[in-house]
Amino acid sequence: MPDILILDQISKQFDQRKVINQLSFSVKEGEIFGLLGPNGAGKTTLVNIMTGLLNAEHGRVTLFEKHAPGDNFARANIGLASQSLALYEDLTAEENLRFFGKMHALEKNALKTAVSQTLAVVGLEDRANQRVKEFSGGMKRRLNLAVAILHKPKLLILDEPTVGVDPQSRNAIMESIQTLSDQGHSIIYTTHYMEEVEKLCDRVAIIDKGQLVALDSVNGLLQTHGKSHRIRYSQDNKVITVDSDNPLQKIRELLNSEQQARISNLSVQSPTLEQVFLNLTGRELRD
Amino acid sequence: MTNKLLAVTQKDLKLLYRDKGGFFFTFIFPIIMAVFFGSMMSGSGGIKGISLQVVDADQSVISKAFVDKLDAAAELKVVLSDEATARETVRKGKAAAYLILPKGFGEAKGNLFSGKTATVQLGVDPKRSAIKGLLQGVLMSYAAEDMQSAFTDTSKMSTQIDKSLAEVRQARDSGELGDNDKTDRLLDFLDNLQEMVATDSFNNTSNSNENSAGNTADENTSEENEFNGFQPLIIETQAITVNRDGPPSGYDVSFPQGILWGILGCLSAFSLSLVSERNQGTLSRLLVSSANRSTILAGKALACFLTIIFIAVSLLLLGKLVFGIQIRQPDLMVVSLVAIGFCFSGLMILFSVISKSEKAASGITWAAMMLMAMAGGGMIPLAFMPAWMTPVSQFSPVKWSILALEGPMWRQFSLIEMLPVVGVLFGIGLVSFLLGVRLFKWQSSST
Ligand SMILES: Nc1ncnc2c1ncn2[C@@H]1O[C@H](COP(=O)(O)OP(=O)(O)O)[C@@H](O)[C@H]1O
Ligand SMILES: [Mg+2]
C-alpha cells in the first residue's frame, strides 16, 4: 500500500516553546492510523499541520504522494472532524451539511444524496431539521463527523471524535468509523483513550511532549513494551494487585500457598497500551 | 466559485436572521430610532459652534464690526463668503446657516432712532431647523448688545439722538410721515431722551429704558411698521432652495440616520460573525474545504451588502409611505445605496479580519461606530460636537452616507454633486475590503 501521508522531521513551536519536535511517520492508504497521546502532547497541532491550518517551522508534509497541505487537491480530498465542534449552532443539522457540502462543490442531486447518506451513517436522520444548539454533546459529535465525511474524502482526519460523549454515542461513532474504513477511507484517529485505539486502529503512533515515542501495530506495541500482566485479587476484604511478566507462574504460586482459602475474585489483565505508555514515558496516560 | 460564494451569503443571512440580538439591532432598533427622533426633532439644547456663512454686502465700518462680533461669538463659527457660495454651501449641508448683511445695513444700524431698522437675511439648513430659533436669538442678542453699548455711551447717544431728531423733523416737515400723532409722540420721546442723556441721569434709570423698549416692541407688532427704532435687528428668514415645497419634516432627517443605525448594527453583527466562526472552528473547517479565502470573505461581504440594501430600502419605504419623507431622485438614490452598501461591507471585512476575539470585535466595532457616528453627525448633530471632531468627520463614512441619502431625498443634488460623495464611499469600501482580504491571507500564512 502506498503512503497517503508522510511527515518528515516536523517541528513546530509556539512562543519559543517547542510543541512538535522532529516528528516523522507515515500513514498507509486504507489503514486506520491511531495517534495516541495525553492532553497537550501535540496531537491537534499535528493535525493542523497536516491540513495546512498551521505551518511547521521545519520539516515537510507530503499528502497523496505529491501534494502539500492546503493545496486544492489536498483540501478536496481530506475530511476533518476537528476536536472543537465546528458547527453552526443556529442552523439545523441538514443546513450545516448542505452548507459544507456546497463548500466542497457538491451540487443538487449529489448533495442531496450525500446529506441523507451521511445522516444515516451517524444515525441522525430523525434530527435532520433540528437546530444544532438543541443537540446533546454526543449528537453534535456525530454531526461533526458527518460534516467531515460528506464529500467522501480519501483521507479522514478525526481529532478526538469521542471526547465528552455518552457511551451510546461513542459506540455509534466507533461503528461509523469502522464502516467508513470498510468503505475504503484512510483514517487518522487521534485520542487519549487507549481502548478506542486497541479496538479500531491498525497501527498506532504514541506521542508525548511533541515527540514520537513508539510506532507499531497494537499487538506489536503490546508485545514489545507491555511486558507485565496485572493480577488482581481480594484477600481479607482488601484488593491486591500484582504485576508479573509471568502471570501463570504467579497464579500457581498463589493457589499453592496457605493463603489460598482467603483469596477470592482473582482476575488477570493482559498488557494494555496504558501500561505501554507508562513503560515508555514513566507517566500515566490519563490526565 | 459563485455557488460557494452564494452559499456563504445564504448561510450568513440565515444566521443573522436567527440571531436575536443581531436581528434587533439591525432591523428593529433603526426603525425605533427613525420614528422616535423624527418626532422629537424639534427639540434642541444649548448650541455652540454653529457654522455660519456670512455675506457682508454692505462693507461698512458698522457691518464689519458686527461681523467681527459674530466671529468672536462662541456660539458661532463664522466663514466669510459671497452670496451664491453661502447659499450653495448651506444647501449642500456643509454649513448650518448663512447670514446676509445687505447694502445699507451699516447706515440703518448706525442710525439708531431713524425709522429704519437694520435688516439681515438668514437662511438655515432645513435639516437643522431646530437651530433656527436659537440662531435668531443669538443674532438678536448681539445686535441688542450693540444698542445697549450705544445707550450707555452718553456722548455717542447724544449725537445719535440729535441726528435722529433732525431727520424725523425734516421728514415731518416735508410731509413724508403721514401720521402726525405718532411722529409727534416720537419727537417728544426723542426730546425727553435727549434731556435725560444731557443731564446724565440716564445711566441710573435703566427701568425707563426697559419700559420704552417694551412699548416700542409692542408697537412694532402692529401693522403700521414705521416705528421700530428700538428693535435691534430685523431678521428676514429665507427659504433654502431645497426648501421650496416647505421644509422637510423631522422624518426626512431621522430616517437617513435610522438607516445608518441599522447599517452600524449590521456592521457589528457581521464583524462578530467572522470572529465567532474563528472561535467555533467553523472558519477552520471552511479553510480546509474547497472554498478559497477570498470566496469566504466575498460571500460574507455580499450578505452584509444585501442586508444593508434591505434595511435602507425598507426604511425608505416605511418613511415614504407612512411618514411622508421625500425621495426626489430615486435613480440617484439607487446609486447612493449601492455605494453605501459597498462602503460598509468593505469596512465590515476589515473590522472582522482585524478582530481576533469576540471581545476585540465588539470593542473595535463599537469604538469605531461611536467615533464614526459622532464624527459623522449621524446621531449627534454636528453642532454639539467638540471642535476637534470636525476635521475627523471628514473621514467618517457615516457623514458621507447621510449626505448620500439626503442628496437624492431633499437636498436636490445633481449627478455631479453626488459623484464625490459616492466616490468617497466606494473608495473607503474598496480600500477596506482589499486591506481585509490581504490581512486575512497574511494571517494564515504566518501561523
Ligand atoms: N495557538 C497556540 N498558541 C500557543 N500554544 C499552543 C497553541 N496551540 C496549542 N498550544 C500548546 O501546544 C501544546 C500541544 O497542544 P495540542 O496540540 O492541542 O495538544 P493535544 O491535541 O495533544 O491535546 C499544548 O501545550 C498547548 O498548550
Ligand atoms: Mg487536541
ipTM of the complex: 0.83
Q: What is the DSSP letter of A12?
A: E
CB contact under 8 A, A78 and B444: no
Cα–Cα distance, A32 to A1 (Å, whole number): 13
Give the mean pLDDT per block of 10 residues along chain A (287 residues): 89 90 92 90 92 89 90 91 91 95 90 93 91 91 92 92 85 88 92 86 90 88 77 84 81 80 80 78 69
Model pLDDT, residue B414:
86
Distance in Å, CA A19 to ligand 1 centroid: 7
pLDDT value, residue B245 = 46
Ligand 1 geometric centre to CA of A287 (Å): 15
A105–B285: do the CB atoms touch at under 8 Å?
no
Q: Which residues of B touch A (CB under 8 A)?
A: 3-4, 7-8, 10-11, 14-15, 18-19, 280-282, 284-291, 444-447
Residue range B102-111: average pLDDT? 80
- The residue with greater pLDDT, A130 or B49, is A130
pLDDT recorded at residue B226: 39
The pLDDT score that the predictor gives to residue B432 is 93
For domain B50-238, the CATH architecture is: 3-Layer(aba) Sandwich (3.40)
pLDDT at B147: 59
Which residue did the predictor score with more confidence, A12 or B240? Answer: A12
Report residue B325's pLDDT band, with 50, 70 and 90 as the boundaries. Answer: confident
Chain B, nearest residue to A87 by Cα: B282
Q: What is the whole-number distance in angstroms between the Cα of residue A83 and the centre of ligand 2?
A: 6
A102 contacts in B (CB within 8 Å)?
A: 3-4, 7
Mean pLDDT, to the nearest integer, of B328-348? 93
Inter-chain CB proximity A54 and B280 less than 8 Å: no
* More confident site: B151 or B216: B151
What is the average pLDDT across B85-95? 84
A25, A215 contact by CB (below 8 A): yes
Residue B225 has pLDDT above 80, yes or no: no
Check B11 against A55: CB less than 8 A apart: no
Ligand 1 binding pocket includes A84 (Cβ within 6 Å): no
Write the residue in B10, B18, B446 that is nearest to A90 by C-beta: B18
Residue B337 reports pLDDT greater than 80: yes
Q: Has residue B304 got a pLDDT over 90?
A: yes
Q: How confident is the model at residue B217 (pLDDT cuts 50, 70, 90)?
A: very low
Q: Which three cell numbers stand for residue B25?
A: 439591532
A182 touches chain B (CB under 8 A): no
B325 C-beta neighbours (distance < 10 Å), count: 25
Cα-atom radius of gyration of chain A, to the nearest Å?
Answer: 22
Q: Measured between alpha carbons, how far is residue A139 from residues A85, A162, A165, B294 in Å? A: 11, 11, 8, 32
Q: Do B287 and A100 touch (CB under 8 A)?
A: no
**Is A120 part of the contact surface with chain B (CB cutoff 8 Å)?**
no
This prediction's pTM: 0.69
Helical ranges in chain A per DSSP H: 43-51, 72-77, 93-103, 108-121, 137-149, 167-182, 194-200, 218-225, 247-256, 273-281
pLDDT band at residue B444 under the 50/70/90 scheme: low
The whole-chain average pLDDT of chain B stands at 74
**Residues with a beta carbon under 5 angstroms from ion ligand 2:** A 43-44, 83
Question: Ligand 1: which of A12, A19, A49 to mutate, judged by most atoms within 8 Å of the beta carbon?
Answer: A19
- pLDDT score of B369: 63
State how far residue B288 is from chain A, nearest Cα, in angstroms.
5
More confident residue, B81 or B444: B81
Q: Name the residue with cell 435668531.
A: B136
Nearest-Cα distance to chain B for A160, in Å, is 14
Predicted confidence (pLDDT) at residue B204 exceeds the cutoff of 50: no
**Which pLDDT band, with edges at 50, 70 and 90, does B17 fall under?**
confident
Let me know how many helices (H) and strands (E) chain A has, helices first. Answer: 10, 12
> Is a pLDDT exceeding 80 seen at residue B232?
no
Cβ of B4 within 8 Å of Cβ of A102? The answer is yes
Under the banding of pLDDT at 50, 70 and 90, the label for residue B112 is low
**Best CA proximity match to A49, nearest among A30, A28, A25, A29:** A25
CB contact under 8 A, B14 and A90: yes
- Any idea where the domains of chain B sit in the sequence? 2-41+246-446, 50-238
- Cell numbers placing A46: 499535528
Residue B386's pLDDT is what?
54
The edge-to-edge listing of strands for the beta sheet with A263-269 is A238-244, A229-235, A263-269
Task: Give chain A positions within 8 Å (CB) of B288.
Answer: 51-53, 70, 75, 78, 80
Chain B residues whose beta carbon lies within 8 Å of the beta carbon of residue A48: 284
Q: Which of B281, B290, B446 sits opposite A76 (nearest CB)?
A: B290
Distance A40 CA to ligand 2 centre (A): 7
Which ligand number lies closest to the CA of residue A161?
Answer: 2
User: CB-based contact (8 Å) between A133 and chain B?
Assistant: no
The C-alpha of A240 sits at a distance from chain B's nearest C-alpha, in angstroms, of 46
Q: For residue B192, is pLDDT > 70?
A: no
Q: Is A210 in the pocket of ligand 1 (CB under 6 A)?
A: no
Residue of B nearest to A108 (CA): B3
- What is the residue-wise DSSP string for B152-216? HSHHHHHHHHHHHHHHHHHHHHTT----HHHHHHHHHHHHHHHHHHHTT-GGG-HHHHHHHHHHH
The string over A253-265, giving b where at least 16 C-beta atoms fall within 10 Å of a residue's C-beta and e elsewhere, is: ebeeeeeeeeeee
Q: DSSP assignment of A171-209, as one string? A: HHHHHHHHHHHHTT-EEEEEES-HHHHHHH-SEEEEEET
Does pLDDT of B152 surpass 60? no
Whether residue B286 is predicted with pLDDT greater than 60 in this model: the reply is yes
Q: Which residue has the higher pLDDT, B32 or A55?
A: A55
Residue A6: the pLDDT is 93
CATH dotted code for A3-223? 3.40.50.300
Q: N- to C-terminal Cα distance for chain B? A: 26
| pLDDT of res. B179 | 58
Instruction: Kindly report the protein residue whose alpha carbon is nearest to atom 10 of ligand 1.
Output: A14
A53 exposure class (CB count in 10 Å sphere: 0-12, 13-18, 19+) = buried
> What is the distance between the alpha carbons of residues A237 and A224, in angstroms, rounded to a whole number?
35
**Average pLDDT of B314-324?**
88
pLDDT of B375 higher than 60: no
Q: Is the CB of A43 under 6 A from ligand 1?
A: yes
What confidence tier does B202 reach under pLDDT thresholds 50, 70, 90? very low
Query: How big is the CA angle at B251 (ends B248 and B256), to the nearest 5 degrees?
Result: 100
The predicted pLDDT at position B176 comes to 57
